Structure 1
Amino acid sequence: MKSNERKPRSRSVESISDVHKDFIQLNDMESDKEPQDQYSKQFSPHGNISMQEQPYSSVKDKETIKPIYIAGKNKDFEGRLNDGSLLTNVVLDEWIKDLDTATNHIAKSARNIVDCLEQVAYEGRRVDSHDMSRIVQPRDELLLHAEVAGCAGRELCRWASSIQQQQDQILNNRLAQTQNREATLTSEVRRLTEKLGRMEVDLELARKQLDEQQNESLKFNTVHESMESVKNHLQRQLRQRESECSRLSVQVRNLETRLAEQQAQNQARLETAEVSLERMRETKEALKRAAKSQKRRADEAEEAYREISHKLATQESIIAGFQTELENCALRSRGRSKERQLNDVGIMHDGGIVDSNKSMYANGDKSLREENLRLREVASKCEQRLHAAEEELQHLRTSLSTCEALLNDYHGDAAMQASRLHTLNERLKKTESDRERSQIQLDDVEQRLLEAEHRNRILEDALQSKESQKGDYVASTPVNTKQSSKLGECDQQLHLDREDYCGQNSQLNGSANIGILKDQNITGTTNNELIQELRRELCEAQNEKKQIENRTEIRLNDLRAQLNQADATNRSLQAYLTFLKRSYASVFQPDMLINPSLISPCQPIACSLTTQLTANNTLSKNTHRECV
């Protein structure tokens, strides 16, 4: 049932990774197809970001999206490229609102799935069909709103590309106007040179105009140099971002392979644990049957001992009666023998034998002899029965001593099992403390992830506010969206690792509790093999727990490194955004071509550009070292 729980979760992670891979592949394809002419884009501040927006518009016609209502989908951007209303932030707010709504639904569905799984793990039961139905509905909602978010992102990129086209037309118009003005100025210079011989009075004025033209040409040269430096810097930034994206994609693929290997190892361990659990259950049942049979034999022995004791007492009373009867018979026989001797003596003195009493004495003697024989037979039988009773009593005494020895052995085994139970309880307490420590570390990592998400939200709000003031910074939104999606993937991966670690801890606690129950049910002298088996399984469980803790520590370190890398990337993006704002403010001012006093700030821009390049290179080197 554990593997069935993990299947929807793994599918969601794979779907996110597939979307990320498709995005990278489309970026590579569109970057290969991009035209090489950069001179027409040197006046556009978004030339480096349109390359990232272009795949969304190119893939839009190939993808099939479910018929879901989206607020910004009904906007018509074709045919209205020259409309000034496109520069407003209404459409952008609608699409961002759709993205926020879809993200909230996705977070809610993921939270419902996690709550259901945590409830099942807390109750310690297996997942049934009702739980699966509770999990399937949030999963479907999650996938549905993920598609909605993707559709909204693509439409937003399409809107951005339309704005880019509009800006390109505006810049082309300005370029045409500038060229017309240059043609006018050249014609005027030619006319002045033709009139130079005729109008010597206006020579000084012509010289002044010539000086102005020279100053203007110097200004244009300076602006051209600054634009070339900005273009080179933007190209370097683009190459750096591409290398960083490729490195992140490699890291994501490595994490996915590592996760698959860890899932396979956990599945194998789960199967071995189930086999050992089944074997331990069979051993437990066998021990229960053996204990019941031993208890039954002990009860039968006690019952037989009571019966034999009762029989022995009865036989002793019978033997005592027979002994008294034998003594009485002996006394009677002695009295009769004395009477017979006296009678014989009297007859001998009388000098004759009375014939009438001869038959009487013969009959009496015969009866006495028969009585004597009968009494002797009874005495021999009583002696035989007494001897048999003594032998049976001796056998019962030996059986009783054996039962007492068995009871002493049982008491010793019970004391030993109690000591082992105490040891196992101490180990379980230690395991619980380690689990609490790991839980604290996981909470710390989650708190840091939440702080990173909060900082990302602040950066996104700042970007949106700047985009509402200046429509030229719309193209920087997909970068932050990509960073937010990467942080979301890290958060989901952390939740999955946390659930795996909790499931493994519960499995270890369950196996330890099963071992304790088995130790409590063992009562016999033939449990040495079972004790050795339990010790071996306990050692294996401890080793497995240590391995799981080590892997968890490694995973936490990786997540910390990724979190630090995300923070560094956010700082780099913020610095890059500040640099773009300063460059735009210093280069693309409307009165730049008229007011010559704006030429002087170009030198500080170049200085800030060099400083920003040095800072970005240092930051990229530090992040690369942290990842390595």
Structure 2
Amino acid sequence: MTRCPVKVTSGIQKSGNEHPIHLHVPGDTPIHLHVNKNTQVTRIPELLTGKTHSQFQAPWVPPPGKTSSGRFAYDPTRRVKVKSDERKRRSRSAESLSDNIHKDFVRSCDTESDKGLRHEYPSDINTPDTTSIQEQPYAYLKTIKPAYISGKNKGSEDKLNNRSLLTTMVLDEWIKDLETATNRITKSARKIVDCIEQVAYEGRRVDSHDMSCLVQPRNELLLHVEIAMRAGRELCRWASSIQQQRDQVLTNYLTQTQTREATLAAEVQRLIEKLDRMEVDLELTQRQLNEQQNESQKKNTIHESVESLKGHLQRQLRQRESECSRLSIQVRNLETRLAEQQAQSQAHLETAQFNLERLRETKEALKRAAKSQKRRADEAEEACREISHKLATQESIIASFQTELERCSLGSRSLSKERHLNNVGVIHDGGPVDSNKAICMNSDKSLKEENLRLREVALKCEQRLHTAEEELQHLRANLSSCEALLNDYHGDAAAQASQLHILNERLKKTEADRERNQIQLDDVEQRLLEAESRNRMLENVLQSKESNQWNYASSTPTNMKLGKHTRSLHLDLDDYLGQNDQLNDNIGILKDQKIAGTTNNDLILELRRELCEAHNEKKQIENQTEMRLNDLRAQLNQADATNRSLQAYLTFLKRSYASVFQPDLVINPSLFSPHQPMTCPSTTQLAANNMTTTTTKDS
């Protein structure tokens, strides 16, 4: 390989906005480039991939004084591989610092290249002339990150100035040179320190051999210090030019954004105007479509109305037939229920009469029992008074007997004392004893007889007293039993009186219920009369309507069908009127039965329930009749509307034919005016009857 120095001159110093210089050299050719100090070097924007092979990339410029063809030769695919030193070093602070700076810088470069963002760099970095490496070692290199200018079109790239030719690859080479210089400075300093320590350890002076050993590390140290200072100056110069590049890119991007915004606003305004025009056209088209649809609907209205009227009348006829059959079944069921209710009412009436007679008999028996109990109570009270009188007499007799016994006992005591005294006097005096003995014997006999008599009297008195006590106890027992029986009789009398009071109240309630039912029956009868009058009125109206329909039925076949359906509906109405008459007769029979009812509360309640059911059934029948009348009115109104539409269509056809075939024919439009309503006296009468019916129901 031979050296081929090339000198390139350009007028880029005069103007900073000229196009850059493009130099094409072989890949293994070393280049020595001198850059003026007042020139600011900027970087070109890099794509998101991080690797670009554009022909506008500036080659890596080696530091001045190094022109070897070795590791400083430009190779775009070259990557610096840092080999780890296996030898143990005394100090790894500078190497570890450079390694950390390189790792952080590469990681930040990769992250920012993935995101495609722009970063600002500190503008207050001093120039390398005033800042030493020892005062500010490579700490500020951590903040230096490559700037990626976002742009999608190539036009914005072509407008950049020549200061943005520096790429990420050149920045990486600068950083690698700076790291390499730092490593070599560290190694040279370590060699110098080792030599000095060895001389100091040996304790000898520095000789020429030691100086020759120190010269080479010193030269390497100075060289790499100069290289590091130049790389630092280039990095600082690049960082100072980033702010201007960023401002210019932001200005260009803002201008492009405003231009695009104005373009989009104009496009939106144009689209809005176009949308308004399309909406107007759409409304016109929609209006035309609606008009065409209305015309087609008008053309198909007559046929559809006739067909729908036919189907509606057929359905109404089938419904009327089914309702007639259902009503006939309901009437038969009502008749059977009325017969059953009549039988039940008769049975309830007989049972109520039987219960009433039994209650009356029970009442009379209770009255007789009360009278007999009262008489017995009076007799018991009289017997009690007699017994108490007898007891008083017996007690007086017993008291007299006791006084007599006491008197006799006193006399016997006095006689015994006299006898004792006589015996004592005879013993002391020695007088005549025989006469005294005879007297004593006589007195003893008389005393013995008197004692026997008194004893017999006492026994009789005791017996009589015992019998009197027994009789008194018996009378007391009889008195207590009579009192208990009297209390029972009083309780029974009170219970019977309460039952009589309850029966009287129930009789009063049944009488009041009967009067209320009578009032309700009168009200039902009045409503039936009103319903009959309304039915007669409706019958007259239907007859008049039928006559009008017969007169009108000869005009069109559709009207003839309407007349037939109206006649069938009239026959159905006659059947309903007959059913109403039959129901009125049944209700009259039920009223007669209820008027001749009994005073039993259960029977009255049952009759009230039956009356309510009959009243509800009558209301249902009246509602059904009213619904049928309303349906008839609706059908008549629909028939009138159909007739009017047919007349309008006939007028339209006549006018069309007259205008096409006979233009001289003049048609009086007043005869076939579709806006002139047909006068129907029957419809007016039906409306008036409907209003009358509504007023009657409200009242």
TM-score range, shorter chain: 0.3 to 0.5
Give the TM-score taking structure 2 as reference length: 0.38
Higher helix proportion (structure 1 or 2) = 1
Q: Which has the higher contact order (CA 8 A, sep 6+)?
A: 1
